[in-house]
Amino acid sequence: MTTQGWVRDAATRTTAAAEAARTDATIASFDARLIRVPLTRPWGADVTSVGVIATHVVRSDGAEGWGFSWTPQIGAEAVHALLAHDITAFAVGRSADPGSESLALWRHLHEAGGGGVTTIAMAGLNLALWDAAVRAHGTSLSGFLGAQRESVRAYGSGVNLHYTQDELVAQVRRWVDAGFDAVKVKVGKPDVAEDLDRLRAVREVLGPDRALMIDANQRWELDRATTSLESLAEVSPAWIEEPLRADDLYGHIELARRLAASSGIPIAVGENLHNVYRFDDFLRTGAAQIVQPNVVRVGGITPFLGIAAIAAEYGAAVHPHLLPELSGQLALCLPAVAGVPAPMAEDVEDAGFGALGALDGPSPVRIADATLTETPHIGLGLRFR
């Protein structure tokens, strides 16, 4: 299939097992409620909580499902309003098939934007419909889609640019003591020399054999990224995440060209790309070698599976962004691609829904010794207090 064909088809592409999600049932009712969850470790002075919009769907055949949308600090009220008004009005009475619903809803909401608040809100419905479909079959998501592996490697992650160097080193020691062989830290200090000092201290704790990933969170422009990475290459980063503004496709193309001719550091993007078309843009042009879709920000499981299918076509690694309680389940189900590293789960210190006390019940996954495995559950296994 051509690249363009993959893009056109990706919004409804699922695995063969997911065809069982198709149903003649319709959406009888749908509701959403906003929950503010305080962060144990603030992600910055202006990010002290995350907004969770918990959703609930009832199908015409009586099956129920629970889902959610999510956003750190900003925009939760807007997402809730979109779910409570436009999405509910559109959804009730329509098909409860999570595959056909996704593309139809995206087209309906497109006038409000092709991604961002719209796709974040879409996930609230898509995840609830998937939960209902999987629950109706009396199994878990991995049982429904077909698990490809029993466990997923996890890496330690933190929002830590505002940490002192001593605090950062202490965090990395905690990850090493917990068995992680890969960690990710933030970069983007005003002076790259400070970034390098911090990373040298981190590398000293990690030793030469553990992987170190770095994340600039869109803080650089092209020339600054180029010169910064020339310096930071000293610590052998496994990837540089979001070096430039997420919407700067051509900047990423040029940076990828420069890095290929120098340090060879791969570029990872995806937490702020919101639909299958943008992921295809970055992969088709060589602007990124690793993609990190956030299952909520892209609109739910249906588009996530489409993005993973596109990445497989390009031979790109998929390491889902955050939300290991759900993205870890999906990582268990992604097919292996020859020559491509297996997906990893991102474990941000003290930021899981279970650790934050947000869940009404046990987490559907467990992370121990840097390995994510499932715990017994039905459906997505995620309901919020």
The DSSP bridge partners found for residue 129 are none
pLDDT in tens, 12-28: 445 554 566 678 899 99
Tokens found for residue 62:
């009586």
Three-state DSSP state, 52:
strand
Q: Which of 294, 267, 301 is nearest to 348 (CA)?
A: 294
Query: In this structure, are residues 170 and 198 in contact, taking their beta carbons and an 8 Å threshold?
Result: no
pLDDT in tens, 2-12: 444 444 454 44
The pLDDT value recorded for residue 19 is 64
Q: Which of 52, 55, 36 is nearest to 124 (CA)?
A: 55
Percent of the chain with pLDDT over 70: 95
CA–CA dist 110, 8 (Å, integer): 15
The pLDDT value recorded for residue 24 is 87
Q: Span 88-98, mean pLDDT? A: 95
Q: Span 120-135, mean pLDDT? A: 97
pLDDT in tens, 144-154: 999 999 999 99
Residue 75 DSSP class = S
Please give the mean pLDDT across all residues of the chain: 93
- pLDDT above 60 for 80: yes
Q: Span 236-260, mean pLDDT? A: 98
Q: Which of 78, 124, 84 is nearest to 101 (CA)?
A: 124
Query: In this structure, are residues 384 and 34 in contact, taking their beta carbons and an 8 Å threshold?
Result: no
Q: Which amino acid is at 382?
A: L
Percent of the chain with pLDDT over 90: 88
The pLDDT value recorded for residue 16 is 55
Tokens found for residue 23:
């149903």
The pLDDT value recorded for residue 44 is 85
Give the pairing type, strands 290-291 and 211-215: unpaired
pLDDT in tens, 317-328: 999 999 999 999
- pLDDT above 60 for 272: yes
pTM of the model: 0.94
The pLDDT value recorded for residue 102 is 85
Residue 86 DSSP class = I
The DSSP bridge partners found for residue 32 are 55
- pLDDT above 50 for 106: yes
pLDDT in tens, 274-288: 999 999 999 999 999
Give the pairing type, strands 317-318 and 345-348: unpaired
Three-state DSSP state, 68:
strand
The pLDDT value recorded for residue 100 is 82
Three-state DSSP state, 263:
coil
CA distances in angstroms from 216 to 40, 51, 132, 135, 242, listed in the order given: 22, 23, 38, 39, 6
